[in-house]
């Protein structure tokens, strides 16, 4: 299942912080533990080096007094010490000449920059790939000479404990990463719910509220969002009800004007007042247009105010289209238009409100007839696509700019000249009814004309 970008950002941010923290812990542990170990080892070496130096000085003095040189008793002592400590030990005089050593071969190379000097002692304790310990101590040679004894120990470092520590840090990291999953989901879940509610609000659904438990900033944001939704719902509903009431009230004066015109028309004879008769017909035409506009406003307002959930029945859209076309046969004959109906399926049914679907299809077909040039075809194709029915209504018309195509479903928007009758509400009603039936409507420019593509869900009977 796909995760939101915010969820991924939170998860990897926590994971990155965790990795950096573990690296810092490991580095700090190694630095503190390493320095503490070196300091402890140096202090221990300094405290015990005095005894080592005295033993070595006594042995050298004895060999010197007995006239046997440094190679007999002192040599054995040096070799024994070297074997015990597994180190290389050598003694040199003040002129850096080696007078005694416990090994064969050359003197080991030393990293001079890393050696620490404290008084007469030089010391180095390094832990890298290999563990290296080096110390140089001042010693008194016979015949009042000064010299130095060098202690050099190196061996492969045992890294079992360090690896175990790293494995422990890795295990802790994995456990925390697993725990981050519900934490990130806990943070992003309410935001996703808030996003879904905002999308529903933008589509005109004011009944969906955000349900978030807690007492944090996100909860307070959700509560504020719910308050905003309720206020917007009351404002929009009040506006729509006002529009519906005004439209309804306008019918009464229009009806009275129509009656007055009829009385006036009966009183005026055609041969005495021909100009008045023409003006009366013009007024009657305007009244009809106004009445049609009010009817469409009322229809659109009712669709907004009443969310019809029940009252649906099984309908055959192909038969409905044929019945509606039959009602337009006089206008079709007047413009010499041909209507071609093609259906890829024998039986297609939808579950819908009968009155609303009739209004939807009537507006679609009326729009196609109104804007079609004389003697042109109107093609209506009905097809099945998975669990949907697609109705395509094509008619030729004058050029429409693509940037205006998406606006034709907005109320009172007209993309052609005003010479065509209409109010610009027909397609807005079509979109509203389609959306309330979980369908959609879109327009597409095609072959010097326009094609309306209506999509509605099929009924279970058809799907079966």
For residue 22, give the DSSP letter: H
> Confidence band (pLDDT; 50, 70, 90) for 188?
confident
Average the pLDDT over 432-443 and give the result.
88
3-state DSSP percent of the chain in helix, strand and coil, to 5: 55, 20, 25
265 with 398, same domain: the answer is: no
Residue with the bigger pLDDT between 271 and 223: it is 223
Q: Assess whether pLDDT exceeds 80 at residue 227.
A: yes
- pLDDT-wise least confident of 189-198, 263-272, 277-286: 263-272
Q: Is residue 255 part of a domain?
A: yes
- pLDDT-wise least confident of 195-209, 301-315, 322-336, 387-401: 301-315
Domain range for residue 321? 313-463
- pLDDT attached to residue 47: 65
Q: CA 145 to CA 327: how far, in whole Å?
A: 131
Q: Assess whether pLDDT exceeds 70 at residue 443.
A: yes
3-class SS of residue 460: helix
- pLDDT by residue (tens digit) across 40-54? 666 666 666 677 778
Dihedral angle at the C-alpha atoms of 319, 320, 323, 325, nearest 10 degrees?
-110
256 with 373, same domain: the answer is: no
Q: Is residue 169 part of a domain?
A: no
CATH code, domain carrying 223: 1.10.287.130
Residue with the bigger pLDDT between 206 and 113: it is 113
Residue with the bigger pLDDT between 368 and 30: it is 368
Closest CA to 205 of 238, 241, 230: 230
Average the pLDDT over 244-267 and give the result.
67
- pLDDT by residue (tens digit) across 353-391? 888 888 899 889 988 998 888 999 999 999 988 889 999
Q: Is residue 190 part of a domain?
A: no
- The whole-angstrom distance between residue 112's C-alpha and the CA centroid of its chain comes to 57
9 with 149, same domain: the answer is: yes
Backbone angles phi, psi at 336, to 5 degrees: 55, 45
Q: Which residues contact 11 (CB under 8 A, 6 or more apart)?
A: 180, 181, 184
**pLDDT averaged over every residue in the chain:** 76
Helix pair 217-267, 160-202: axis angle to 10 deg: 20
85 with 223, same domain: the answer is: no
260 with 352, same domain: the answer is: no
Q: Which of 238, 271, 305 is the last residue of a domain?
A: 305
> Beta strands 130-141 and 145-156: pairing type?
antiparallel
245 with 359, same domain: the answer is: no
Dihedral angle at the C-alpha atoms of 328, 334, 335, 337, nearest 10 degrees?
50
280 with 341, same domain: the answer is: no
Q: CA 160 to CA 129: how far, in whole Å?
A: 13
- pLDDT attached to residue 309: 47
- pLDDT attached to residue 82: 83
For residue 38, give the DSSP letter: H
Closest CA to 339 of 371, 375, 293, 310: 375
Q: Is residue 198 part of a domain?
A: no
402 with 322, same domain: the answer is: yes
- pLDDT attached to residue 393: 94
- pLDDT attached to residue 1: 41
CATH code, domain carrying 66: 3.30.450
385 with 353, same domain: the answer is: yes
Into how many domains does the chain fold? 3
- pLDDT attached to residue 336: 92
336 with 434, same domain: the answer is: yes
Q: CA 208 to CA 230: how far, in whole Å?
A: 10
- pLDDT by residue (tens digit) across 101-112? 888 888 888 888
Dihedral angle at the C-alpha atoms of 402, 403, 408, 413, nearest 10 degrees?
-140
Q: Assess whether pLDDT exceeds 80 at residue 305.
A: no
The DSSP code sequence of 315-351 is E-HHHHHHHHHHHTHHHHHHHT-EEEEEESSS---EE
Structural tokens at position 424:
């610009």
Average the pLDDT over 123-152 and give the result.
81
- pLDDT attached to residue 405: 75
Neighbour count for residue 197 (Cβ, 10 Å) = 20
Q: Rg of the chain's alpha carbons, rounded to an integer? A: 49
- pLDDT-wise least confident of 116-125, 308-317, 419-428: 419-428
Q: Assess whether pLDDT exceeds 60 at residue 420.
A: no
154 with 298, same domain: the answer is: no
Are the C-beta atoms of 241 and 305 separated by less than 8 Å? Answer: yes
């Amino acid at each position: 299942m796909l995760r939101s970008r915010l969820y991924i950002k939170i998860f990897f941010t926590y994971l990155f912080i965790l990795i950096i923290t573990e690296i810092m812990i490991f580095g700090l542990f190694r630095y503190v533990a390493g320095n503490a170990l070196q300091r402890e080892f140096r202090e221990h070496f300094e405290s015990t080096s005095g005894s080592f130096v005295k033993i070595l000085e006594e042995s050298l003095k004895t060999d010197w007094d007995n006239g046997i040189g440094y190679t007999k008793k002192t040599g054995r002592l040096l070799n024994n010490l070297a074997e015990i400590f597994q180190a290389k030990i050598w003694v040199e005089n003040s002129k850096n000449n080696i007078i005694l050593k416990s090994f064969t071969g050359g003197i080991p190379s030393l990293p001079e920059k890393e050696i620490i000097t404290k008084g007469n002692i030089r010391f180095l304790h390094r832990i890298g790939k290999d563990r290296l310990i080096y110390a140089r101590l001042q010693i008194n040679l016979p015949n009042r000479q000064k010299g130095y004894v060098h202690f050099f120990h190196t061996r492969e470092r045992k890294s079992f404990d360090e690896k175990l520590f790293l494995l422990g840090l890795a295990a802790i990291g994995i456990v925390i990463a697993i725990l981050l999953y519900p934490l990130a989901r806990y943070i992003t879940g309410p935001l996703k719910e808030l996003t879904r509610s905002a999308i529903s609000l933008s589509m005109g659904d004011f009944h969906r509220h955000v349900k978030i438990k807690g007492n944090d900033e996100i909860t307070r944001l959700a509560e504020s969002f719910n308050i905003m939704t309720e206020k917007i719902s009351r404002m929009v509903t009040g506006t729509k009800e006002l529009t519906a009431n005004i439209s309804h009230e306008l019918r009464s004066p229009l009806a009275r004007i129509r009656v007055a015109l009829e009385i006036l028309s009966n009183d005026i004879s055609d041969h005495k007042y021909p100009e008045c008769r023409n003006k009366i017909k013009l007024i009657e035409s305007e009244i009809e247009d106004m009445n049609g506009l009010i009817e469409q406003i009322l229809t659109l307002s009712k669709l907004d105010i009443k969310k019809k959930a029940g009252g649906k029945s099984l309908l055959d859209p192909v038969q409905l289209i044929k019945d509606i076309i039959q009602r337009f046969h006089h206008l079709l004959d007047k413009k010499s238009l041909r209507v071609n109906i093609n259906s890829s399926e024998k039986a297609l049914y939808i579950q819908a409100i009968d009155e609303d679907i009739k209004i939807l299809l009537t507006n679609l077909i009326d729009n196609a007839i109104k804007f079609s040039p004389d003697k042109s075809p109107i093609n209506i194709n009905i097809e099945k696509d998975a669990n949907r029915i697609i109705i395509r209504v094509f008619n030729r018309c004058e050029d429409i700019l693509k940037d205006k195509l998406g606006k034709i479903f907005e109320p009172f928007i007209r993309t052609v000249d005003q010479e065509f009758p209409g109010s610009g509400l027909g397609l807005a009603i079509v979109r509203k009814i389609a959306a309330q039936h979980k369908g959609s409507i879109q327009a597409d420019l095609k072959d010097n004309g326009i094609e309306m593509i209506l999509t509605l869900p099929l009924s279970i009977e058809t799907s079966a």
